[in-house]
Amino acid sequence: MPLLAAASAARTMAKKTPTQLARTLASVVDAPKLHAHYPVVPGSLTAHLQLRSGETFTGGSFGAASATVGETVFTTSLVGYPESMTDPSYRGQLLVFTQPLIGNYGVPRRTRDSYGLLKHFESERIQCSGVVVSDYATKYSHWNAVESLSEWCAREGVPAITGVDTRALVHILRGQGSTLGSLSAGAQPLDAASISWVDPNADNLVAQASTDDIRVFNPAGDVHVALIDCGVKYNIIRSLCDQGARVSLVPWNHDVMANLSAYDGIFISNGPGSPTHCTETISQLRRAFAVYQRPIFGICMGNQLMGLAAGLNAYKLRFGNRGHNQPAVDLTNGKCVITSQNHGYALDDSVMPEGWARYYVNANDGSNEGIRHLEKPFRSVQFHPEAKGGPLDTGYLFAEFVDSVRAAKQAGLAATLSEDCSASAQAATA
């Protein structure tokens, strides 16, 4: 499809409601419940994936010999399993990889960069609750690998299963939506009646993933950016620092209004779960929108929180957008970019609040991919321009943000309207 035609189609989809955007898929609701068994090597430990909806998958266990419950979701990414597994946005989820072969390049060493951040991971530990793959590579080969995926999962207490027909599993999840699942190691599956089906999205996962203390990165940076940590990926911090910013990582519910003038710009990170739990962050942003004049930018959860603060609503996607190949169209110029994404919620942008406009739209399903203010330097994207595992199409957004922060500072732009009015009054009486 020609680019202009794709952009036109994306604009048309952007005007539809979430109900109208529901994807037409082959239904598996009325089909018999699938019970798939994969033969394991004699003497090897067996693992079981049980969906709350009744389907079961039996395969080989690798990783921790334990049991867990989480929301079963899938990613279509072909590479980057160490980055995906340590992404805080996967907190509380059983992560299904549609890429058949996983583990073939092992797990890299915990090397840190000049900012003190792990180079090859997005946080300090595995964030997902469990791992589901079709074919686990028991032997790995990579110059930077120091351990196998199984050893890493076992060390961090994360169960994993191999031998799952992930095509059948994803077909189920696409049909009925992301589903609670239980992953356990043992000769027999758990008694379904005894499983405690706790939905992680019922909790404030952002509060669990966020930092407790303020941390400063690149203290010699020439502009000061407050990074609200909703479950930040390390490469977001790194990307801001690489552009020359001093980054103050603050908790999700930090009172930024108390010291608003200290920040040359505000950035809201990605994070797990439902944005509706973050009422304190939303309130802070709503107040900042009213008075702050310097740039604000959000990514993923940050996009949703900015949207809620602006007056939009959020809704849960049937199975989310997770992978490295999601096309997003920039509605300001019709340019389509390939993006990395990991979210289960989206903004309902069918009716935009006064002063706000759609920024990006997903070319596949028409869901929101960003918003922007029509007058103030506030904007956000649903995708991940910092994607450590690629693609790198939208990395320029970090440069644009920091450049705009730097330009506002050099122009002497006051942080708030009240400061601006005070300065004007002083100048008039001088």
Catalytic residues: 300, 384, 386
Residue indicated by tokens 């058949």: 100
* Burial group, residue 246, by CB count within 10 angstroms (0-12, 13-18, 19+): middle
Which residue bears the tokens 């239904």?
27
Element (DSSP H or E) covering residue 180? strand 179-185
How, if at all, do strands 356-362 and 313-330 pair? antiparallel
Q: Is the dihedral of CA 267, 203, 29, 39 positive or negative?
A: positive
Quick one: which of 166, 88, 24 has its CA closest to 343? 88
User: 321 in helix, strand or coil?
Assistant: strand
Within 356-417, strands assigned E span 356-362, 368-373, 378-381
Q: H or E segment at 258?
A: none
Q: Return the closest-CA partner of residue 28 out of 168, 175, 167, 178.
A: 175
How far is C-alpha 218 from the chain's CA centre? 24
Strands (E), 52-170: 56-63, 67-75, 93-97, 101-102, 107-108, 130-132, 135-136, 145-147, 159-162
The CA-CA-CA angle for residues 272, 277, 278, to 5°, reads 85
Q: CA triplet 388, 256, 128: central angle to 5 degrees?
A: 35
H or E stretch at 115: none
∠ at Cα 289 (285, 295), nearest 5°? 95
Question: What gap in Å lies between CA 341 and CA 356, rounded to an integer?
Answer: 23
Q: Cβ(103)–Cβ(148) under 8 Å?
A: yes
Between CA 320 and CA 101 the distance in angstroms is 22
